[in-house]
Amino acid sequence: MNRDVMLIEPASSSAMREMFKEKYPYPPVGLLHIAAFLKLHGYTVHVVDMMIEDHSRQDFRRRLATLSRSPLAVGISLYTECFYEGIEVAALVRELFPETCIVAGGPHATFRPDEVLSYDCIDFVIRHEGESAMVELLEHLQHPQGLPVERIQSLAYRDVNGAVRSNPTRPFVTNLDLLPFPSYESVPALQESYKESFMFVSSPGCPGDCVFCASRAMSGKRYRFHSAEWVFSLAYEYFRRYGFNRMVFLDDTFTVHRKRAEAFCHYLLTAWPGSEPPRWACKSRVDRVSDEICALMSRAGCLSIHIGVESADQGVLDAIAKHIRLEQTFEAIRVARRHGLRVDCSFIIGHHADTRATIEKTILFAQAIRDHGIGTAAIGISTPFPGTRLFEDAEKLGITITTRNWRKYDLVTPVYDTQRFTKNDLRRALYFLEHESRRGKQMVGLTGQRHEQFRAKLDRLIAEIEADENAQVKLSKGGVQ
């Protein structure tokens, strides 16, 4: 009986693939979870990560040709920015293995199943979580009468008349600890990178509901998480295999469940098999950062914490439903720095509520973070991905989406119009931050304003951080004496 399955993560372009290989060698964690679940049910799974591996069309064709037989099914993860490349991969698989079932999953497939199924090379779409639905679909392929497609929750397909049908959504897994560890060994090309940095997700989704993010729509409204014991066991097991130097939590908000975060840190401090805990990094929200948790994380080896600042204007933060105050952002940065944590800040310009003036303030904030050595500052352009309220409620939010060319949904290309600013305003703002500000220019140049009041706030923040750090240095020297 054929129980071979291939899971594929497409790459959106060769340029992006090279960037990811160099800076962000993230494993395809979603596919690795599905691979582990399929292996648990007796399937042989091959994972192809085109974001990391070098695969031209001909290379991929040759790889498929080396298979001893056609797979029972091929699953392809579709993100919006790599949608077309995923369809090209599916077409090639169909050409070489016309009898193989081709399944699409991932965010784009979840929110636009009709579009995905308009391509003949895609047979099924699995929406939201894929583990159980994929197992049931594979059982259907082998025993179609015993398990008809109509009974498989979260499955979308074409009926006998060619109309797209979407079955009811499967309830989300509530006890995540019942799932097996992700099958990291399924991507041979990443084995060496695991020895340096081990990356994983301990809690899918996010309790926030920002208009630009589809995390909650994709993973459910309820915040779900693995226990501290499960997470520590995962890290412990793979440290024994690879001996990595660094861990990275890919969760959107690691510190949301404070007791779990504290328990994990205590396990690192008391039960880690190495001489000292590995260095690690995580993400969180500014309203979930405190003196106590930062102090404990720092002692347990944490080097940096990523926070989504998004905007330097309170009105914009309110409009995007961030549910934080700008003062909380300043305080979170102060607290993290006080305990020696690098602060990795992400910003977005071009929010539907932005103006030229608020965009300038956000650019100035990012510049201050970067130029004063407080942390890193990454900035992107607001992009209405399918599944976000920015996409679904575009007209209500006052924007006009100007293209459905998904390749342009890359976080650096403006794809909608508004009366508040132009696409060229966004391009000029990014150019200022990346080039002109590094040459000492002080004015962003969209409005002619200097934003003296906001600059004064930034100056106070920087002075307070420097004072804290000087005090820590003096305390340290006093302790030595």
3-state SS, residue 72: coil
Mind listing the pLDDT tens digit for each residue in 93-130? Answer: 999 999 999 999 999 999 999 999 999 999 999 999 99
HEC profile for 363-396? Answer: HHHHHHHHHCCCEEEEEEECCCCCCCHHHHCCCC
Q: Which of 157, 92, 153, 93 is nearest to 124 (CA)?
A: 157
CA triplet 196, 199, 205: central angle to 5 degrees? 165
Q: How confident is the model at residue 6 (pLDDT cuts 50, 70, 90)?
A: very high
428 and 358 in a common domain: yes
Q: What is the DSSP letter of 181?
A: P
User: What's the CATH code of the domain at 144?
Assistant: 3.40.50.2300
Share of the chain above pLDDT 90, in %: 80
301 and 195 in a common domain: yes
Contacts of 173 (CB under 8 A, 6+ apart): 129, 131, 132, 179, 224
User: What's the CATH code of the domain at 216?
Assistant: 3.80.30.20
Per-residue pLDDT at 53: 77
131 and 26 in a common domain: yes
Q: Phi first, then psi: what are they for 314, rounded to 5°?
A: -65, -40
What's the CA gap between 380 and 362, in Å, rounded? 11
Q: How confident is the model at residue 24 (pLDDT cuts 50, 70, 90)?
A: low
Place of tokens 């002109």: 436
Domain boundary among the residues 108, 131, 166 is at 166
For range 68-81, the mean pLDDT: 95
What's the CA gap between 357 and 363, in Å, rounded? 10
Assigned domain for 74 exists: yes
Q: How confident is the model at residue 478 (pLDDT cuts 50, 70, 90)?
A: low
121 and 191 in a common domain: no
pTM: 0.94
Assigned domain for 341 exists: yes
What's the CA gap between 132 and 118, in Å, rounded? 24
Assigned domain for 49 exists: yes
Query: Quick check: 148 pLDDT over 50?
Result: yes
Q: How confident is the model at residue 64 (pLDDT cuts 50, 70, 90)?
A: confident
Place of tokens 């004072």: 467
Assigned domain for 174 exists: no
196 and 152 in a common domain: no
Per-residue pLDDT at 443: 83
Which range (64-68, 85-89, 166-170, 362-366) has the least confidence?
A: 64-68
Share of the chain above pLDDT 70, in %: 95
119 and 220 in a common domain: no
What's the CA gap between 343 and 328, in Å, rounded? 14
For range 170-194, the mean pLDDT: 89
Query: Quick check: 248 pLDDT over 70?
Result: yes
Q: How confident is the model at residue 20 (pLDDT cuts 50, 70, 90)?
A: low
251 and 123 in a common domain: no
What is the extent of the structural domain holding 93? 4-166
For range 398-421, the mean pLDDT: 96
Per-residue pLDDT at 284: 96
Domain boundary among the residues 166, 197, 227 is at 166
- The tally of domains found in the chain comes to 2
243 and 367 in a common domain: yes
Assigned domain for 234 exists: yes
| Amino acid (1-letter code) at residue 189 | A
Mind listing the pLDDT tens digit for each residue in 300-331? Answer: 999 999 999 999 999 999 999 999 999 999 99
Residue 186, both tokens: 């399924």
270 and 322 in a common domain: yes
Q: How confident is the model at residue 19 (pLDDT cuts 50, 70, 90)?
A: low
CA triplet 24, 29, 32: central angle to 5 degrees? 135
Per-residue pLDDT at 472: 78
Domain boundary among the residues 166, 199, 222 is at 166
Q: Phi first, then psi: what are they for 382, rounded to 5°?
A: -55, 125
> Containing H/E element for 126?
strand 124-126
Query: Quick check: 479 pLDDT over 60?
Result: no
Assigned domain for 177 exists: no
Query: Quick check: 16 pLDDT over 70?
Result: no
139 and 36 in a common domain: yes
Per-residue pLDDT at 480: 46
Assigned domain for 157 exists: yes
The end-to-end CA distance of the chain, in Å, is 73
Query: Quick check: 467 pLDDT over 60?
Result: yes
383 and 441 in a common domain: yes
> Containing H/E element for 306?
strand 302-310
Assigned domain for 291 exists: yes
Per-residue pLDDT at 481: 41
146 and 198 in a common domain: no
Q: Output the average pLDDT for the chain.
A: 93
